[in-house]
Amino acid sequence: MLFPDSRQLRDIARIAIPVSLEAVSQLLLGFIDQIIVGTLGALAIAAVGLANSTTFIFILTLAALGNSCAILTARAYGAKNTAALSQSANVGLLSGFLISLLVVLPMWIWAEPLMAFAGGNPQLDQPASSFLKVMLLSLPLVVLGSVSTGTLRSMGDARTPMKTTMVSMLINTVLAYLLVSVFDQGVLGAAWGTLLANLIKTLWLLHTLYQRSGVRFQIPGWKAIQSTLRELLPLSTPMMVTELFWTSSVFIYNILFGKLSTQALAANQIVNTLETVFVVASFGLASAATTLLGQAIGQGDTHLAQHRSRAILKMGILTGLVTGLLYFGTAFLLPTLFRAVETEVLNIAFLGVVLNALFQAVKVHNMIQGIGILPSGGDPRGVLFGDVFGAFAVGLPLAVWFGFGLGWGAAGIFSARLIEEAVKLLIFHLRYRKINWQRLAQHLQTA
């Protein structure tokens, strides 16, 4: 069958559509912030992009903990084990909060030298480090929100996280505009707007989780922590290491663009922001994989898990082709969207958008496999291998060779990243074919 049947489509859409709307809303917020900051010029865009790429490393690394908790809570929900569901959520929230605090302190202390090393331009150091310090305060809130969101989705509630994100998007946009444009707070205005919006969103999610979803709040004891971590760590550790390496590679790519010029760094920030908006339009499919596959495995229905994984991958190909076409179209809107940005930046960004749009379906496929299917199928190490090998053995060495050795500049670095995605596609496909759904379900039932 080329496409999933109507029942599969309903099951997938029930999770995927709200999650995708939430993800797109969240990234549109970042895009709107970038347009607001863009009125301050290319230097401001580059500074914000440099700081964001740093916090991005830790946000996605710790967010992997939320995705791991979602896998456990989905299995518990499928098995109708409410005690295990509550315990997984409580341990995940506590662990995520404590780990995020351990990250914030040293990063705050080393903000200035880190931005000085990464930027390669003394003019970027002060605005980038100031922006980074405020954004670091959002990290514990983002982690708590990630675990809460994963738990709610695993129980079939994808609408509440969507609503909270949309409301926080509006709050962030209004605050950023007022602080940047009206009260003349520069790039820091956008950072404070994001912090306040994240606070409101996280409090809303926690209230829903404990007051309306049926999850019972309890500070976990040592035995509960130990038993949960025995399940959580084998999932979360490879996923967190994967995100750490992947986001670190993104950071290094930004450094390479910065070594070319401030204009190239600003252009790459525009390309990444636009691309992410369209890639995450399919993010709901990865979340649907986490929820639906986890529930099926929790029920012991491996046949259903296999069918759902195939259906979600087929939908990913379709959405990747459609969003890739839409992303391609934004290349021609760059002069309208970024009127205050110089022509050299827009020309580099145009090339980056066109090249990346051609690989949109590949990136969507890799996202669904890496975030949803392979971890849910018990193979987070396959994701780790694909991301690390693709970036550090293929993508980054080629970026240095193409961009600097051959003198291709930004075009060479963009091309190297696309080759990295092609390598990951092959690795993820081979790992997917080796998943033994029956053995996984039997292992969970006897654990």
State the burial class of residue 113 (Cβ atoms within 10 Å of its Cβ: 0-12, 13-18, 19+): exposed
**Is residue 306 included in any domain, yes or no?**
yes
Q: How crowded is the C-beta side of 404, counted as CA atoms within 13 Å?
A: 12
**Is residue 247 included in any domain, yes or no?**
yes
Least confident of 80-84, 140-144, 277-281, 411-415: 277-281
| Per-residue model confidence (pLDDT) at position 202 | 93
206-243 b/e (C-beta count within 10 Å ≥ 16 → b)? bebbbeebebeeeebeeebbebbeebbeebbbbbbbbb
**Full domain range(s) for residue 84:** 6-446
| Per-residue model confidence (pLDDT) at position 99 | 86
DSSP for residue 132: H
Q: How far apart are CA 366 and CA 383, in angstroms?
A: 9
| Per-residue model confidence (pLDDT) at position 28 | 65
Q: Which of 291, 432, 434, 275 is nearest to 364 (CA)?
A: 275
**pLDDT confidence bin for 221, thresholds 50/70/90:** confident
Give the model confidence (pLDDT) of 54-74 as tens digits. Answer: 777 777 677 777 777 888 888
CA-based radius of gyration for the chain: 21
Structure tokens at 266: 């600003």
**Is residue 393 included in any domain, yes or no?**
yes
Q: How far apart are CA 68 and CA 75, in angstroms?
A: 11
**Is residue 151 included in any domain, yes or no?**
yes
> Does the pLDDT of residue 381 top 80, yes or no?
yes
Cα-based distances in Å from 341 to 147, 188, 309, 345, 346:
38, 20, 43, 7, 7
> Does the pLDDT of residue 326 top 90, yes or no?
yes
| Per-residue model confidence (pLDDT) at position 211 | 85
Rounded mean pLDDT of 114-128? 72
Give the model confidence (pLDDT) of 14-63 as tens digits. Answer: 888 887 777 777 666 666 666 777 777 777 777 777 777 777 777 767 77
> Does the pLDDT of residue 120 top 60, yes or no?
no
151 contacts 73 by C-beta, under 8 angstroms: yes
Better pLDDT: 174 or 350: 350
H/E element holding 217? none
Nearest 5°: the CA angle 183, 187, 192 is 75
Least confident of 85-89, 150-154, 211-215: 211-215
**Is residue 256 included in any domain, yes or no?**
yes
> Does the pLDDT of residue 407 top 70, yes or no?
yes
Q: Per mean pLDDT, which of 258-262, 353-357, 443-447 is the most reliable?
A: 353-357
Nearest 5°: the CA angle 241, 246, 251 is 120
Q: How many domains does the chain have?
A: 1
> Does the pLDDT of residue 290 top 90, yes or no?
no
| Per-residue model confidence (pLDDT) at position 76 | 83
270-291 b/e (C-beta count within 10 Å ≥ 16 → b)? bbbbbbbbbbbbbbbbbbbbbb
Structure tokens at 74: 């989905």
Nearest 5°: the CA angle 233, 238, 242 is 140
**pLDDT confidence bin for 2, thresholds 50/70/90:** very low
Q: How far apart are CA 47 and CA 124, in angstroms?
A: 5
Taking the model in full, what pTM does it have?
A: 0.72
Structure tokens at 273: 């922001």
Average per-residue pLDDT in the chain? 84
Q: For residue 109, how many other CB atoms are within 10 A of its CB?
A: 11
Q: How far apart are CA 128 and CA 33, in angstroms?
A: 15
Q: How far apart are CA 104 and CA 406, in angstroms?
A: 39
Q: In the block, which residue shows the tokens 């605005």?
A: 127
Percentage of the residues of the chain whose pLDDT score is greater than 90: 26
State the burial class of residue 404 (Cβ atoms within 10 Å of its Cβ: 0-12, 13-18, 19+): middle
The secondary structure of 345-360 as a DSSP string is HHHHHHHHHHHHHTTH
> Does the pLDDT of residue 447 top 60, yes or no?
no
**Is residue 1 included in any domain, yes or no?**
no
Q: For residue 6, how many other CB atoms are within 10 A of its CB?
A: 8
Q: In the block, which residue shows the tokens 């994240």?
A: 198
**Is residue 401 included in any domain, yes or no?**
yes
Least confident of 5-14, 41-50, 118-127, 290-299: 118-127
Q: How far apart are CA 95 and CA 146, in angstroms?
A: 12
Structure tokens at 201: 């969103």
